[in-house]
Structure 1
Amino acid sequence: MGYNVVVVGATGNVGHEMLNILAEREFPVDKIAAVASRRSLGTEVSFGDKTLKTQDLEQFDFKGWDIALFAIGSDATKEYAPKAAAAGCVVIDNSSLYRYDPDVPLIVPEVNADAVVGYSKKNIIANPNCSTAQLVVALKPLHDRAKIKRVVVATYQSVSGTGKEAIDELWNQTKGMYVPGQEVAPKVYPKQIAFNVIPHIDVFLDDGSTKEEWKMVAETKKILDKSIKLTATCVRVPVFVGHSEAVNIEFEDFIDEEEVRDILREAPGILVVDKREAGGYITPVECVGEYATFVSRIRQDSTIDNGVNLWIVSDNLRKGAALNAVQIAEVLGQRCLKKG
């Protein structure tokens, strides 16, 4: 027997990917519904070889549905996730709303799948921030071996992390650079994104960090280990899909770069592509549409004791959002909602 599954926000970038991945991974579905805001009512979306018409979120009844994958903003999630949960439908939420709630598990299945049993407190499971998800997948197996003390990470995050309007802004600004009189002023971002980088994601906090940077700190501690010290600088770059991260790790114990390479090659969800030659690494263009988190540029950091550098790349719409949500649903089904 399969599950009755709802994808909420089915017309958005992440919602589309959720439907694609559910079909690709042959998630056991008995019945599926595509749900979105009223303005998208009747819009058609694909689920494998089927075409679904979107239903109105305001009118949707979650009673009788097993799992709801939410890919809408925090405001709408705040209204509708509790309704779904109260109706007996387990919510897997991609927004930031519940990530820091102690009664809501924050899950990356390769890292802390066992925590999924905590879903029953509120019938809600949180999906982490896209930049955190790919980071902790790579950190987990190394932390198990040598215990991580501190992480310094700089992210290079694609515009799809902001949404469709951001993708359009990058595309239109890029075209406008070549057509006099058709320049496009920034609307989504505070500065031009085409041919530029912006060291500012989400709002600024009192200490000078941005909320995106704070999220990486708080979520890594909750998912992996509260004792890990982490500092981040998050940067938006003119890339459509795929987040990259330059990561410096300081361990409590020495670990050789060759052992790091071997550990990561055996780790779930990781593909190591690390040749010390031109092109012997992965870039965002190559990770699009892939499930894996790719690790390259593995090398010792001789400036600190027990230091290692990594380059981590992943499709942010997949592992950073939709894939991780579907993986959570798979774990939930296997461990908690068994049917048949």
Structure 2
Amino acid sequence: MGFKIAIAGATGNVGREMLNILAERNFPADEVIALASSRSIGTEVSFGDKTLTVKNLETHDFSDTDICLMSAGASVSQKFSPKIAAAGCVVIDNSSAWRYDSEVPLIVPEVNPDAIEGFRKKNIIANPNCSTAQLVVALKPLHDRAKIKRVVVSTYQSVSGAGKDAMDELFNQTRAVFVADPIESKKFPKRIAFNVIPHIDTFMEDGYTKEEWKVLAETKKMLDPKIKVTCTAVRVPVFIGHAESVNIEFENEITADEARDILREAPGCLVVDKHEPGGYVTPYESAGDDATFISRIREDATVENGLNMWVVSDNLRKGAALNTIQIAELLVNRGLLKSQAAA
């Protein structure tokens, strides 16, 4: 018998992608329920060759639901996830609401699958920030080989990370440039069309943004608390796909060729690294793909045991929806979850 799965936030970018990936990967679901807020009741969303009608998250009975894939934002998750979990349904949350809770495992299956055993404490599992997910997929195999001391990362993040309204704003501003209409900025503090904005999320007292802090905190929680991490997060006029320039300092010696070989064999990684024009992957090419692409691997002569690399991934997939589904698959494949209907 398969499982009953609920998607909370099914009308959003990530929620719709979750439905697509569930169908693509033939997840063992007997029933899939699309949920959203009351204003979206009756909206239709696609699931494989089926059409689902969105129901109300607030009134749904989770007592016979096995997994809730939550993509409705942090405030909604904080309100509803404990109630859903108390009903016996495992919540896999895509927001920042539970990532830093010591009793909630933060999981990237290629990086720290064993940590999933801790989900029983609250019946909640957290999905990491989109930029962190692709970063740790690339860092993990290198850390296992040469032990990472320090990471300096600059992110180049697409507007889809800020939701549908952000994608619409980029489209509308771009069109306005070409027809000489006024440029309106609502979602972003500055114009995003033909521009870059070194500001994602709120500013903190130390001058870093919350987005930059997330990369630091989540890398430490999933990979190694001893790793030093610093980040600059930048929004770029790209619709889908996050890119990262990553500088790594290791305790032990590792060459670019060794790193290339290690990453070629690593789960979730795809190395495209030819030293020629176009011999690398860009965000545009990553859209719709499950892999974390790694290019421009080279040694950094300014520090001992240093490497540079370029990491690209579809932020709606590995950075959000795909990783969430992979966590659900990990629960099932390890026998950690039994169907409530079967019970």
Give the TM interval when normalised to the shorter protein.
over 0.9
The yes-or-no answer on 1:305 pairing with 2:304 is yes
Aligned to 1:46: 46
* Structure 2: runs of 5+ lacking an equivalent: none
Once the two structures are superposed, residues 226-273 of structure 1 have per-residue CA deviations (whole angstroms, 9 ceiling, x without a partner) of 000000000000000000000000000110110000000000000000
Instruction: Summarize the alignment of residues 93-132 of structure 1 with structure 2, pairs less than 5 Å apart.
Output: 93-132=93-132
Aligned to 1:236: 235
Tell me the C-alpha RMSD between the 2 structures.
0.8
Aligned to 2:284: 285
Letter in 2 for 1:140: K
Letter in 2 for 1:17: E
- Residue 179 of structure 1 deviates from its aligned partner by 1.3
In structure 2, how many angstroms separate the alpha carbons of the residues matched to 1:117 and 1:183? 53
Instruction: Summarize the alignment of residues 292-331 of structure 1 with structure 2, pairs less than 5 Å apart.
Output: 292-331=291-330
The yes-or-no answer on 1:5 pairing with 2:5 is yes
Letter in 2 for 1:326: I
In structure 1, how many angstroms separate the alpha carbons of the residues matched to 2:182 and 2:290? 36
Letter in 2 for 1:232: C
Q: How many residues align?
A: 339
Aligned to 1:274: 273
Q: Secondary structure of 2:81's partner?
A: helix
In structure 2, how many angstroms separate the alpha carbons of the residues matched to 1:234 and 1:138? 18
Q: Secondary structure of 1:177's partner?
A: helix
Letter in 2 for 1:189: F
Aligned to 2:205: 206
Instruction: Summarize the alignment of residues 1-340 of structure 1 with structure 2, pairs less than 5 Å apart.
Output: 1-180=1-180, 182-335=181-334, 336-338=336-338
In structure 2, how many angstroms separate the alpha carbons of the residues matched to 1:75 and 1:210? 19
In structure 2, how many angstroms separate the alpha carbons of the residues matched to 1:332 and 1:184? 47
Once the two structures are superposed, residues 129-181 of structure 1 have per-residue CA deviations (whole angstroms, 9 ceiling, x without a partner) of 0000000000000000000000000000000000000000000000000112x
Q: Secondary structure of 2:304's partner?
A: coil
In structure 1, how many angstroms separate the alpha carbons of the residues matched to 2:256 and 2:2? 44
Once the two structures are superposed, residues 155-209 of structure 1 have per-residue CA deviations (whole angstroms, 9 ceiling, x without a partner) of 00000000000000000000000112x2232110100000000000001111110
In structure 2, how many angstroms separate the alpha carbons of the residues matched to 1:308 and 1:48? 42
- Residue 31 of structure 1 deviates from its aligned partner by 1.0
In structure 2, how many angstroms separate the alpha carbons of the residues matched to 1:52 and 1:103? 34
- Residue 338 of structure 1 deviates from its aligned partner by 4.6
Letter in 2 for 1:289: G
In structure 1, how many angstroms separate the alpha carbons of the residues matched to 2:207 and 2:127? 26
Q: Secondary structure of 2:178's partner?
A: coil
Q: Secondary structure of 1:218's partner?
A: helix
Letter in 2 for 1:219: E
In structure 1, how many angstroms separate the alpha carbons of the residues matched to 2:20 and 2:113? 23
Letter in 2 for 1:77: S
Letter in 2 for 1:188: K
In structure 1, how many angstroms separate the alpha carbons of the residues matched to 2:73 and 2:32? 21
Letter in 2 for 1:225: D
Letter in 2 for 1:288: A
Question: TM-score, normalised to structure 2's length?
Answer: 0.98
In structure 1, how many angstroms separate the alpha carbons of the residues matched to 2:73 and 2:337? 26
Q: Secondary structure of 1:271's partner?
A: strand
In structure 1, how many angstroms separate the alpha carbons of the residues matched to 2:281 and 2:182? 32
- Residue 82 of structure 1 deviates from its aligned partner by 1.0
Letter in 2 for 1:184: I
Letter in 1 for 2:258: E
Q: More displaced, 38-47 or 240-249?
A: 38-47
Letter in 2 for 1:6: A
In structure 2, how many angstroms separate the alpha carbons of the residues matched to 1:276 and 1:338? 49
* Structure 1: runs of 5+ lacking an equivalent: none
Q: Secondary structure of 2:190's partner?
A: coil
Once the two structures are superposed, residues 52-90 of structure 1 have per-residue CA deviations (whole angstroms, 9 ceiling, x without a partner) of 000011111111000000001111111111111010000
